[in-house]
């Protein structure tokens, strides 16, 4: 009976997915049909269809999850990515554990964004929502075409095997449930600004009328992408056992590039809202950011890259994705070149020393950074295609190029809030910069004195971080002191009122503070980490960076669906125990290492075990200073984003109270 139910449900999901595909096509074509047939009622299909497509796609996703939970190995995707021993948690997460399911998750999220935009747009921009939803529907139909006809998660398998393979052992970690969905929510979220920009170009919608609407959608997408990248680095650090968190892997770069351009977009939107400038540039940023999101999808799923993060895909799928991406970009940039001139700026730069000028420099820096990452990622592919030669562009290139760019980026980030709009008061600027500059120089001197010999990066990075931190503290302090003088409030009350009174601005300051904390973690863990790879017998003690670690031996353990050799080590400095493992999962001969980490705020002791010879075991020990500042900074940045977004909620509450208090 259960197998019959599973059979019917998966076919129901397959039918729902096909129906969603055809409804999406109808959505995309309805505005053209309405114009050709002179029947404006057809335009309603485009908006009303968004919720229908989302519900149908959700039915499909739920039937796939049900197939995993009920061990329905008649579904090929389930048979390849699950077995009866897989814990329930991973059976649910296996929806996005392989190429077919992860693509369907992408589509489901895209339909969810579309439904949310349709609901929001009915009230706020009813005259343009039809065009916006038509663009969204075209994107949905394009991805559904790949999913249903070339990479379907609903494909059946006969004869039905009694047991499935297993989920990729590297993915059997709680981070599996968080990292990919967050990353996809970021990627897909940038489709919303893209659809707005296309609608604006098609209907000559002046950008000052719609840029405020896309700010929140851009922030939401940026927030998910930021959280996904940080969590992905954390996952790589705690699961893969190599002692690092970011290796400039091509697929890592694929997520970093839209983050860079998305960050530039968010800053540039602020200039347009405040000074009515950079109209066409913002449309370019929107298209480029979404283009890089599509490029990331292509790199992950086309099979052109060898990466631990990439899905092995058939060549036909890569050709489809490349063709789809090229068509979208040709249409988008062609429309931009043909009609972008209607988005003219209303104001111009008054002075090169102004906040808007620094925002432009900010945009240039982020764009150059994205171009450098793009070059390092794609150059090996182009070289191989043209000459057949295989090369690898790795961390040495990226560190050499990106570290100076990142430091300049931090300096501009610190100076921006100190400079006035239109034209800076140079005397006031000098007064505000003097103390942070002195503190930065002193911090650099102290670092050089205590850490010599060391790379130039360390004292310069410490100086920049100290300078920017001092500018943020000074900026907030001046506002608090001013309020105390005017309102005669206590220091805590004045601080709370200042920060909560302008959540958008101070939310940005919190995000900047989080980036600084991340920078501290990058400097500490990147420049001052220590590692040793040795053979150890029980009782041996390894000393590294003042940490004394004793190897106590190994034991065999049994997990829910794996067996493991578990190392046992003791940190003699504090008595903490470490238990790294070598796991072999049921149904998969692949051996997977699981490191063990003892963390404090200031350092991690990180250990992994390998092969054994003649009674000794290979032990790889790392001491990573300040690495936890990276995760802490990521959390601060996400909190700052949420705080900034709460400004809109605060305004709605205030408006509702005003309505209720009106007689």
User: How would residue 560 be classed by pLDDT, with cut points 50, 70 and 90?
Assistant: confident
Average pLDDT over residues 594-599: 93
Least confident of 27-31, 53-57, 123-127, 369-373: 123-127
Give residues with Cβ within 8 angstroms of 513, minimum separation 6: 469, 472, 636, 640
Is the per-residue pLDDT at 136 higher than 90?
yes
What confidence tier does 314 reach under pLDDT thresholds 50, 70, 90? low
Q: Where are the domains of the chain?
A: 1-172, 424-495+503-527+635-661, 530-625
Residue 44 contacts residue 19 (beta carbons within 8 Å): no
- DSSP-derived secondary structure for 471-535: HHHHHHHHHHHHHHHHH---HHHHHHHHHHHTHHHHHHHHHHHHHHHHHHHHHHHHHS-EEEEEE
Cα–Cα distance list, 25 to 34, 232, 328 (Å)? 14, 34, 16
The torsion angles phi and psi of 155, rounded to 5 degrees, stand at -60, 135
Q: Confidence class of residue 1 from pLDDT cuts 50, 70 and 90?
A: very low
Architecture of domain 1-172: Up-down Bundle (1.20)
At 527, is the pLDDT very low, low, confident or very high (cuts 50, 70, 90)? Answer: confident
Q: Which residue has the higher pLDDT, 336 or 5?
A: 336
pLDDT of residue 586: 76
CA distance linking residue 572 with residue 578, whole number of Å: 11
Instruction: Give the separation between CA 180 and CA 255, rounded to whole angstroms.
Output: 11
- Whether 328 has a pLDDT exceeding 90, the answer reads yes
Q: How far apart (Å, rounded) are the C-alpha atoms in residues 31 and 53? A: 17
pTM, rounded to two decimals:
0.91
Average pLDDT value for the chain = 87
For residue 2, the model assigns a pLDDT of 47
* pLDDT number for residue 33: 85
351 pLDDT more than 80: no
Q: Which residues of 83-107 are buried (b: 16+ CB within 10 A; e: fewer)?
A: bebbeeebbebbbbbbbbbbbbbbb
pLDDT of residue 650 exceeding 80, the answer is no
Per the CB < 8 A criterion, the answer to whether 146 and 61 are in contact is no
Give the pair of three-digit tokens for residue 374. Answer: 């793009």
Beta partners for residue 532, in sequence order: 621
Round to whole Å and give the CA distance between 12 and 16. Answer: 6
CA separation for the pair 48, 34 (Å, rounded): 15
- Those residues whose C-beta lies under 8 Å from the C-beta of residue 107, and which sit 6 or more positions away, are 57, 140, 143, 144, 147
pLDDT digits over 225-242, tens only?
Answer: 999 999 999 988 988 888
Task: Kindly list the distances between the CA atom of residue 653 and the CA atoms of 124, 507, 647, 656, in Å, as whole numbers in the listed order.
Answer: 18, 19, 10, 5
pLDDT single digits (tens) 52-67: 999 999 999 999 999 9
Instruction: Pick left, alpha or beta for residue 422 (phi over 0 → left; psi -120 to 50 → alpha; otherwise beta).
Output: left
Question: Are the C-beta atoms of residues 338 and 279 closer than 8 Å to each other?
Answer: no
- Report the pLDDT value the prediction gives residue 286, as an integer from 0 to 100: 95
Average pLDDT (322-346) is 84
What are 243's two structure tokens?
Answer: 């002692």
- Is residue 609 within 8 A of residue 618, CB to CB? The reply is yes
Q: What confidence tier does 71 reach under pLDDT thresholds 50, 70, 90? A: very high
CB neighbours of 29 closer than 8 A, spacing ≥ 6? none
Least confident interval from 42-56, 165-179, 363-377, 601-615: 165-179
What is the per-residue pLDDT across 490-526, written as a single tens digit (0 to 9) for each? 888 999 999 998 899 999 999 999 999 999 999 999 8
Q: Side-chain half-sphere of 75: how many Cα atoms within 13 Å?
A: 32
pLDDT at 303 over 80: no
pLDDT, average across residues 275-300? 87
pLDDT at site 208 = 77
| Residue 386 binned pLDDT confidence (cut-offs 50, 70, 90) | confident
């Amino acid at each position: 009976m259960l197998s019959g139910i599973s059979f019917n449900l998966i076919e129901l999901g397959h039918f729902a997915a096909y129906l969603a595909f055809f409804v999406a096509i109808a959505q995309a074509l309805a505005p053209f049909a309405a114009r050709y047939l002179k029947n404006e009622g057809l335009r309603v299909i485009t908006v009303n269809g968004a919720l229908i497509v989302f519900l149908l796609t959700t039915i499909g996703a739920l039937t796939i999850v049900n197939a995993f939970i009920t061990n329905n190995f008649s579904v090929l995707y389930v048979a390849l990515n699950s077995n009866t021993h897989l814990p329930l948690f991973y059976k649910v997460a296996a929806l996005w554990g392989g190429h077919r399911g992860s693509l369907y998750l992408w589509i489901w999220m895209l339909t969810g964004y579309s439904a949310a935009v349709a609901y929001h747009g009915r009230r706020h921009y009813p005259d343009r929502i039809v065009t916006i939803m038509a663009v969204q529907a075209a994107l949905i139909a394009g991805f559904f075409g790949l999913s249903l006809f070339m990479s379907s998660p609903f494909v059946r398998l006969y004869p039905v095997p009694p047991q499935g393979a297993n989920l990729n052992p590297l993915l059997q970690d709680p981070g599996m449930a968080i990292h990919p969905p967050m990353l996809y929510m970021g990627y897909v979220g940038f489709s919303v600004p893209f659809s707005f920009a296309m609608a604006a170009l098609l209907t000559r919608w002046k950008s000052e009328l719609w840029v405020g609407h896309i700010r929140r959608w851009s922030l939401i997408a940026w927030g998910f992408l930021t959280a996904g990248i940080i969590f992905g680095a954390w996952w790589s650090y705690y699961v893969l056992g190599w002692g690092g968190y970011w290796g400039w892997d091509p697929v890592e770069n694929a997520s970093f590039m839209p983050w860079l351009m998305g960050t530039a977009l968010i800053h540039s939107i602020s200039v347009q809202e405040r000074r009515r400038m950079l109209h066409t540039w913002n449309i370019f940023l929107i298209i480029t950011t979404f283009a890089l999101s599509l490029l990331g999808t292509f790199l992950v799923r086309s099979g052109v890259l060898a990466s631990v993060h990439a899905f092995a895909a058939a060549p036909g799928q890569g050709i489809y994705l490349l063709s789809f991406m090229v068509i979208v970009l040709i249409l988008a940039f062609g429309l931009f070149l043909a009609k972008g001139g209607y988005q003219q700026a209303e104001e111009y730069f008054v002075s090169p020393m102004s906040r808007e000028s620094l925002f432009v420099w900010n945009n240039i820096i982020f764009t150059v950074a994205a171009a450098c990452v793009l070059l390092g990622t794609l150059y090996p592919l182009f070289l191989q295609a043209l000459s057949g030669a295989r090369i690898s562009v790795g961390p040495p290139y990226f560190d050499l190029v990106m570290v100076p760019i990142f430091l300049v980026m931090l300096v501009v980030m610190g100076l921006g809030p100190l400079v006035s709009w239109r034209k800076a008061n140079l005397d006031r600027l000098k007064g505000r910069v003097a103390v942070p500059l002195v503190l930065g120089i002193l911090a650099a001197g102290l670092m050089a004195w205590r850490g010599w010999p060391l790379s130039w990066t360390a004292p310069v990075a410490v100086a920049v971080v100290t300078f920017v931190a001092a500018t943020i503290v000074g900026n907030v302090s001046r506002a608090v002191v001013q309020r105390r003088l005017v309102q005669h409030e206590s220091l805590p009350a004045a601080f709370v009122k200042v920060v909560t009174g302008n959540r958008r601005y101070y939310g940005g300051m919190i995000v900047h503070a989080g980036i600084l904390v991340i920078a501290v973690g990058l400097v500490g863990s990147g420049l001052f980490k220590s590692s040793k790879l040795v053979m150890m017998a029980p009782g041996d003690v390894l000393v590294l960076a003042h940490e004394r670690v004793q190897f106590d031996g190994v034991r065999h353990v049994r997990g829910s669906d794996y067996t493991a050799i578990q190392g046992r080590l003791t940190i003699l400095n504090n008595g903490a125990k470490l238990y790294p493992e070598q796991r072999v999962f049921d149904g998969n001969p692949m051996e997977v290492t699981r490191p063990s980490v003892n963390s404090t705020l200031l350092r991690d002791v990180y250990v992994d075990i390998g092969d054994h010879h003649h009674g000794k075991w290979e032990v790889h020990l790392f001491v990573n200073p300040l690495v936890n500042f990276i995760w802490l900074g990521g959390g601060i940045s996400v909190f700052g984003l949420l705080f900034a977004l709460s400004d809109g909620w605060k305004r709605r509450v205030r408006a509702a109270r005003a309505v209720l208090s009106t007689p």
